[in-house]
Amino acid sequence: GENVEQHPSTLSVQEGDSAVIKCTYSDSASNYFPWYKQELGKRPQLIIDIRSNVGEKKDQRIAVTLNKTAKHFSLHITETQPEDSAVYFCAVLDFGNEKLTFGTGTRLTIIP
């Protein structure tokens, strides 16, 4: 099955600076890569996703880049704000079925 590694496990960033979280995966056939944000005690919520036919996608302060050759993808958050503090999970969807495998998570703390 798919193996997803996520780094770093914790990240502290000064408010206004950028944050980058990286994930690698093992199955080269995987074609869908979402990122979820989970605040304490709440449900995971999709913040951005990317498909394998696209190299980069941006939505306001959030961007995701995908390198299919190297099998890694990254989340970039610019101009960070206190409300960005949460746990972020990358995920990879197995090709041909609906099995979503999550990375181990990154606890992001924005320092005011």
Partner 1 sequence: DTEVTQTPKHLVMGMTNKKSLKCEQHMGHRAMYWYKQKAKKPPELMFVYSYEKLSINESVPSRFSPECPNSSLLNLHLHALQPEDSALYLCASSFYESLNADEQFFGPGTRLTVL
CA-to-CA separations, 22 to 37, 47, 90, 96, 98, in angstroms, rounded: 14, 15, 8, 24, 23
Q: Which of 19, 34, 73, 108 binds partner 1 (CB under 8 A)?
A: 34
Q: Which of 13, 20, 27, 32 binds partner 1 (CB under 8 A)?
A: 32
Q: Count Cβ atoms below 10 Å from residue 81 Cβ, excluding itself.
A: 12
105 in contact with partner 1 (CB under 8 A): yes
Write out the binding residues for partner 1, residues 60-99 only, by CB under 8 A.
89, 93, 95-99
Q: How far is it, in rounded angstroms, from Cα 47 to Cα 83?
A: 13
47 in contact with partner 1 (CB under 8 A): no
DSSP string, 37-61: EE-TTS--EEEEEEETT-SEEEETT
> CB under 8 A: which stretch of 20-28, 39-47, 60-68, 71-79 binds partner 1?
39-47
31 in contact with partner 1 (CB under 8 A): yes
The residue ranges that bind partner 1 (CB under 8 A) are 31-32, 34, 36, 42-46, 49, 51, 89, 93, 95-105
